[in-house]
Amino acid sequence: MIRHYFDTSVLLPALISAHPQHKASLQLMDNALSSGVGVTSVTHTYAELYSNLTKLPKGLAIPPDLAFQLITKEIGAIFEIVELARSDYEAALHRCAQKGLVSGVIYDALHLQAALKAEVSVLYTNNFSDFEHLLDPADKIELKAVP
């Protein structure tokens, strides 16, 4: 089965109707789902989405109970959620260390590790440059940004 991976930078706008990239992000998800492509993300996305949904600026922030519902019903019920093991975390750390990458890029490295584990063909992200730094030539994943 062909699989596409969606990181938090694409899923968050899909869940927030007032977000400037809402329509484009939601359309990407809908296109993947309607074409029969498997859609996937990682368990860590739950935490990133919850953090971001509940801390949005005043008037946009989602109450915690609604954030929980959005994440589990809109993402968890539809997406194949990849769980990372200790070895996956160590592989992501190793990738960052080998490339001399620091700080928050580790979170994108965890997304990439999950995408590799799920054997996806496309990874959708709005953090394009981080993933370009993380990818190795042997990685068979095409990066795509929200148009």
**pLDDT per position as a tens digit, 41-99:** 999 999 999 999 999 988 888 999 999 999 999 999 999 999 999 999 999 999 999 99
For residue 142, give the H/E element and its range: strand 142-144
- Model confidence, pTM: 0.94
Does the pLDDT of residue 16 top 90, yes or no?
yes
Contact 47, 111 (CB under 8 A): no
